Amino acid sequence: MAGTKNAKAVHDSELALFLDMLMAERGAAAHTIDAYTRDISDFLAFLAAKKSSAAKASADNVRAYLESLAGKGLAPTSRARKLSAIRQFFRFLLGEGLRADDPTSAIDSPKLGRPLPKILSLSEVETLIETAKLACDTSAEGAPRRRALRLYALLETLYASGLRVSELIALPRNVLAADDRVLTITGKGGRERLVPLNEAARGALAAHLVLLEDDEGLAASLWLFPTGDGGQHITRQRLGQELKGLALAANLDPARVSPHVLRHAFASHLLERGADLRTVQQLLGHADISTTQIYTHVIEERLRRLVEQHHPLAQAHLTKRR
């Protein structure tokens, strides 16, 4: 019993030193400290049950712990977070001379996979757009009609261009002055790209601009999508709220509708209809094509359909050969 108590005291001492370092050197917040305490205490308890300790733990001990978490049904993301905490703990012990090695150095993080982007179907996007267009026709004159036209123009522009919401809401009033067929966008890292606009987006923007010019308070605004007083551009939060309200009016689940979902829909619908990945990368403003590769499932599905529809062996009446 005394040996068990001594071992626990050593564990607690090592953990306390690590937590002190996090607070003193890294300025970790209280909730961060709590998370590290839970994760590492759980690991130390596992080691103790195996008659091991932080000072003696091997890579096999760490692997066994991760396997036990997987056996309990813990998600890969949660297992990866716990492993990250354990790594930092062992690196601290190594740096303090409390261990001669780091047993986590040869252990790979759990494979997380990459979640598929959430998108809307073409018919759902069309329903949203038609609902926004109808609101423009039925809204009362004045501020209600201006808001309806602004949302319709925002929606058409977003779906036509795939802009990031931060790029969309901050468009200057003069962005269409040189050529209303394309937008010149300055994206992340100051990289410029040209994004074409379709006829529907150009028409929605033109109608929106007419009402802005007719309003004395908004005519001088520097923004393409100004707030009610024209002093600032619409915020991403406000756009998100308006899109969810539009989703309700269109009988769609508001939780599925957001500016980012429409950006995903833009990319996925292009790929479904034959656009190549490199072109979509350029339109989205991705610096690295690996970011755009989250959409490869769309290409794979399109190729599968092509084979099923056009390859002779995929046609049942040709597969039964005599």
| Residues acting as catalytic residues | 164, 188, 260, 263, 286, 295
Q: Do the bridges between strand 182-186 and strand 192-196 make them parallel or antiparallel, or are there none, so unpaired?
A: antiparallel
**Tokens of residue 276, six digits:** 């190549």
Measured CA to CA, the distance from residue 163 to residue 232 in angstroms comes to: 19
Residue 226 contacts residue 232 (beta carbons within 8 Å)? yes
Q: Which amino acid is at 295?
A: Y
**Tokens of residue 12, six digits:** 């607690």
Q: Residue 174's Cα: distance from chain center in Å? A: 30
Measured CA to CA, the distance from residue 205 to residue 227 in angstroms comes to: 16
DSSP 166-191: HHHHT-BGGGGSS-TTEEEEE-GGG-
Angle between helices 143-161 and 199-214 in degrees, nearest 10: 150
Measured CA to CA, the distance from residue 187 to residue 161 in angstroms comes to: 13
| Nearest residue to 119 via CA among 286, 260, 276 | 260
Tokens 């991403």 map to which residue?
236
